């Protein structure tokens, strides 16, 4: 695996080192030792799969607060997505900054998301499938969210939002979120 630091402190894009031969290809997608060597939390508490029927579908921006803060390793296994994270750690030098990257079935890329980062993505293709390795159990009482179109962050999504859940559309603007 090739770990590339993003513009946000502690977040990484992870590319695979494919080993190819006449049978096809092989690559390691996760290794706790490699994650620890890069200072990343290697815990996997659960794995989730998300399937998106239509391009333009948007999911997010979600995060959990302590004691249930989550890390995530997100990979698109079918189609393509535009994945976005926002650093919500008040003591971080990249607090309230965002980063976006295209994850596709062809580039095999993953995004490592540290604790207290809001996360969301937009499906760029019909039938986009996303797999998440999550470092903490989903805990509804500790879930928080941000509006995908909040002007406080200025995220430029690649296409118009065509499908979004009522819950995600109703998250308050950042200024309204209690500290």
Nearest to 85, CA basis, from 76, 107, 74? 74
pLDDT reading at 59 higher than 80: yes
Question: How far, in Å, CA of 41 to CA of 93, rounded?
Answer: 20
Annotated catalytic residue, options 12, 82, 112, 132 = 132
Question: Can you count the helices (H) and strands (E) in the chain?
Answer: 2, 13
Q: For residue range 66-113, list pLDDT tens digits in order.
A: 999 999 999 999 999 999 999 999 999 999 999 999 999 999 999 999
- Is 12 a catalytic site residue? no
pTM for the model: 0.93
Q: Which of 12, 62, 121, 148 is catalytic?
A: 62
Mean pLDDT, range 46-67, rounded to an integer: 97
Would the pLDDT of 178 be above 70? no
Q: The domain 44-173 is classified under which CATH number: 3.30.479.10, 3.90.120.10, 2.60.120.10, 3.30.1330.20? A: 2.60.120.10
Structural tokens at position 48: 């989730």
Encoding tokens for residue 86?
Answer: 């926002």
Separation of alpha carbons 130 and 104, rounded Å: 9
Question: Whole-angstrom Cα distance, residue 144 to residue 61?
Answer: 8
pLDDT digits (tens, 9 = 90+) for 123-170: 999 999 999 999 999 999 999 999 999 999 999 999 999 999 999 999
Determine whether 53 is an active site residue.
Answer: no
Tell me how crowded residue 102 is: count the other CB atoms within 10 A of its CB.
Answer: 14
- For the stretch 32-54, pLDDT in tens is 999 999 999 999 999 999 999 99
Given a contact cutoff of 8 angstroms between Cβ atoms, the answer to whether 46 and 138 are in contact is yes
Q: Residue 75: what pLDDT?
A: 98
- Tell me what pLDDT residue 154 has: 95
Q: What are the extents of the domains in the chain?
A: 44-173
């Amino acid at each position: 695996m090739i770990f590339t630091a993003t513009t946000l402190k502690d977040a990484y894009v992870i590319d695979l080192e494919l080993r190819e031969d006449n049978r096809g290809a092989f690559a390691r997608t996760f290794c706790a030792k490699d994650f620890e060597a890069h200072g990343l939390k290697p815990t996997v508490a659960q794995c989730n799969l998300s399937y998106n029927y239509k391009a333009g579908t948007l999911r997010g921006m979600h995060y959990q607060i302590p004691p249930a803060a989550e890390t995530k390793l997100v990979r698109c296994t079918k189609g393509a997505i535009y994945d976005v994270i926002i650093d919500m750690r008040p003591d971080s030098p990249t607090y309230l900054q965002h980063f976006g990257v295209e994850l596709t079935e062809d580039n095999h890329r993953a995004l490592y998301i540290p604790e207290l980062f809001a996360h969301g993505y937009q499906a760029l293709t019909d039938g986009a499938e996303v797999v998440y390795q999550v470092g903490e159990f989903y805990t509804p009482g500790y879930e928080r969210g941000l509006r995908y179109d909040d002007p406080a962050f200025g995220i430029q999504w690649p296409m118009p939002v065509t499908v979004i859940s009522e819950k995600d559309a109703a998250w308050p603007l950042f200024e309204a979120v209690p500290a």
